[in-house]
């Protein structure tokens, strides 16, 4: 359990800590009193740090956040909304990489940004795996191609098609729809190219314990943070959905653990996302429009 205390000498009784605590650990009876720590609620503290972030008077102590780790926000360094929009609008998937390793500290900076993503109950559940070993990266692509061949073969079997359609028509139809694309990927791979990782020198995998609530969502949010930091650093990257495909394959349990096992992801963890990273060969010159948003104002 966390220890939260309020220094009544320093407290100015503005009540902001009580107002923003998401689980009611800090409560203020009246505006004129020093807020109190609720013994009943302190067990539910999610260590989000809101109380430490809001107090301007250094009146709060929290066992998770020693005072030396708390830094004032340099507001003058905040990016302008237009700068954020520019970052978002210029990020693109890069699929051609220089044969040049990405320095360790650059990868660490990307992961550092990822860990500031929101997470359900502030679980910070996402774990990171950095794969740079060329032999393992090659094996990742091989496993995906073997998996695609498996799908091509089983969907060619009329009995499997019947069973799959009966089990879940939508899933089976979408699988069938993908088969021509799978065949094309296999063909490209067999011609000597790597359509899975595009010879990226780094695979950054996002995984979490399977029992964590919203572990998958947390990982996706961390991944998107990583993507934006990578873009700001000039590191090309793309979301490698193919790497996840065997993990998500329906009615193919034997395939679901093959990629995590290759990568050494613990048995209690699921692989939820993966980014291929590297120095980009192309430099995009233009910003391209997206579809207009589909919005309903209710």
The verdict on 239 binding ligand FMN (CB under 6 A) reads yes
Select the span of 19-27, 51-59, 118-126, 239-247 touching ligand FMN (CB under 6 A).
239-247
| Burial of 122 (C-beta count, 10 Å sphere; 0-12/13-18/19+) | middle
The verdict on 238 binding ligand FMN (CB under 6 A) reads yes
Q: How far is CA 63 from the centre of its chain?
A: 27
Min separation Cβ 284 and ligand FMN, Å: 9
Min separation Cβ 145 and ligand FMN, Å: 13
Do residues 258 and 143 touch, judged by C-beta distance below 8 A?
A: yes
Q: Which of 244, 249, 275 is nearest to 95 (CA)?
A: 275
Binding track, positions 87-116, relative to ligand FMN; x by CB under 6 A: -----xx-x---------------------
Min separation Cβ 164 and ligand FMN, Å: 23
Do residues 115 and 221 touch, judged by C-beta distance below 8 A?
A: no
CB contact burial 33-61 (16+ within 10 A = b; e otherwise): ebbebbeeebeebbbbebbbebbeeebbb
The verdict on 242 binding ligand FMN (CB under 6 A) reads yes
18/203 with CB nearer ligand FMN: 203
Min separation Cβ 213 and ligand FMN, Å: 21
Q: Which of 24, 234, 241, 282 contacts ligand FMN by CB under 6 A?
A: 241
Torsions phi, psi for 269 (to 5 deg)? -110, 150
Min separation Cβ 244 and ligand FMN, Å: 8
Convert 233-288 into a string of H (helix), E (strand) and C (coil): CCCEEEECHHHHHHHHCCCCHHHHCHHHHHHCCCCCEEEEEEEEEECECCCCCCCC
Min separation Cβ 111 and ligand FMN, Å: 19
The verdict on 214 binding ligand FMN (CB under 6 A) reads no
Contact residues: ligand FMN, CB under 6 A: 92-93, 95, 238-242
């Amino acid at each position: 359990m966390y220890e939260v205390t309020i220094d009544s000498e320093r407290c100015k009784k503005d009540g902001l800590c009580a107002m923003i605590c998401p689980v009611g650990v800090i409560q203020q009876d009246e505006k004129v009193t020093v807020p109190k720590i609720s013994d009943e609620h302190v067990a539910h503290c999610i260590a989000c740090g809101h109380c430490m972030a809001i107090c301007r008077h250094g009146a709060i102590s929290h066992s998770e956040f020693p005072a030396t780790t708390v830094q004032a926000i340099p507001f003058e360094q905040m990016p302008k909304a237009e700068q954020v929009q520019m970052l978002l609008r210029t990020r693109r998937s890069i699929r051609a990489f220089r044969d040049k390793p990405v320095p360790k500290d650059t990868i660490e900076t990307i992961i550092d940004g990822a860990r500031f993503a929101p997470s359900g109950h502030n679980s910070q559940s996402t774990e990171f795996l950095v794969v740079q070993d060329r032999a393992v990266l090659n094996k990742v692509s091989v496993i995906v191609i073997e998996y695609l061949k498996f799908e091509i073969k089983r969907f060619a079997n009329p009995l499997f098609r019947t069973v799959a359609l009966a089990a879940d028509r939508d899933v089976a139809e979408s699988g069938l729809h993908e088969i021509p694309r799978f065949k094309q990927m296999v063909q490209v791979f067999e011609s000597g190219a790597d359509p899975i990782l595009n010879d990226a020198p780094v695979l950054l995998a996002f995984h979490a314990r399977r029992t964590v609530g919203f572990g998958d969502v947390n990982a996706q949010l961390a991944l998107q943070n990583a993507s934006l930091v990578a873009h700001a650093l000039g590191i090309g990257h793309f979301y490698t959905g193919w790497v996840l495909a065997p993990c998500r394959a329906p009615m193919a349990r034997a395939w679901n653990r093959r990629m995590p096992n290759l990568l050494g992801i613990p048995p209690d963890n699921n692989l939820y996302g993966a980014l291929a990273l590297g120095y980009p060969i192309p430099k995009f010159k233009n910003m391209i429009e997206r579809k207009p948003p589909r919005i309903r104002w209710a």
